[in-house]
Copies of this chain bind each other. A is one copy, B any other.
Amino acid sequence: VLTNPRSERVRAVRALSRRSVRSRTGRFVVDGPQGVREAVRYAARDVLDLYVAAGAAARHEEVVREALAAGVHVHDVDDAVLAAMSETDAPQGLLAVVRSPSPTLADVLAREPSLLVLLASVRDPGNAGTVVRGADAAGADAVLVTEGSVDVLSPKVVRSTAGSLFHLPVVTGLAAEATLDALRAHGIRLLAADGAGGTLLPDADLTAPHAWVMGNEAWGLPATLRERCDDVVRVPIHGKAESLNLAMAATVCLYASAGVPRNTPAGHGGRG
């Protein structure tokens, strides 16, 4: 049982709350039972260490057993150690250090995606995490994130994905313009979601493979990106609200897509 909250190991885990440290070490923290369970289930080989607080072992017996069966290093720790490792005020007894995933756009395109979402300079951790969760729920093939966006491996984003981070590829650090060009060249329709769009969501053509392109919370999509899109679509506002927040707009768009069967583009063997 690890009992020293000031040990080098504990400091090293805690340091992963900093983006620079995550980037240098290629590791990040998954805090809490839901995220840990999905990490163990879908990415066990990337789970480097699992820390289990005294009181949590019985409560989360199944996850711990799965982790041990998958060869994960499981460490018993006392509550003070877990609290020192965790960024949250109320740690929930399980915390994992996980190797940062590094899927590429090429990986995603090779699987002939039919539904994607691209976050361009999205800054709010809750929005980014919620979009990943919504994309997963709506059956999207991947989430693409441009450079200049929030780090999806930051504790707050990881928490808001509720484990979905391990369910679908999340490609990060992308150059926005080049990525849109690559998607277009691959036959993927680009739909900007924008409150000022000329096409209402119910009228948008969602029958081809497509990507929803979401801009920054405050300033939206810059013209250079909007111009690259095939259509600019707005979620209809029926009441007096000015807009939906980014995560809600993305989820409504993705669920509209989920309800429409998609054709395969000429020359690409999409999953339809």
- Which residues from chain A sit less than 8 Å from chain B, CB to CB? 34, 42, 126, 130, 133-140, 162-164, 167-168, 202, 235-245, 247-248, 251-252, 255, 258-259
* Cβ contact within 8 Å between A137 and B239: yes
* Cβ contact within 8 Å between A236 and B258: yes
Query: A252: which B residues are within 8 A, CB to CB?
Result: 251-252, 255
Which of B137, B239, B251 is close to A251, meaning CB atoms less than 8 Å apart? B251
Apart from the given pairs A137-B238, A140-B239, 5 other A-B contacts in the complex at a CB distance below 8 Å: A136-B239, A137-B237, A162-B245, A163-B241, A164-B239
Copies of this subunit = 2
Query: A243: which B residues are within 8 A, CB to CB?
Result: 137, 162
How many Å lie between the Cα of A130 and that of B252 in the bound state?
13
Which of B137, B140, B236, B241 is close to A136, meaning CB atoms less than 8 Å apart? B241
Which of B42, B130, B202 is close to A240, meaning CB atoms less than 8 Å apart? B42
Query: A164: which B residues are within 8 A, CB to CB?
Result: 239-241
A247-B248, A252-B255 known; A239-B162 Cβ under 8 A: no
Q: How far is the CB of A164 from chain B (nearest CB, A)?
A: 5
* Cβ contact within 8 Å between B167 and A134: no
* Cβ contact within 8 Å between A162 and B242: yes
Which of B137, B235, B238, B240 is close to A244, meaning CB atoms less than 8 Å apart? B137
Query: A247: which B residues are within 8 A, CB to CB?
Result: 248
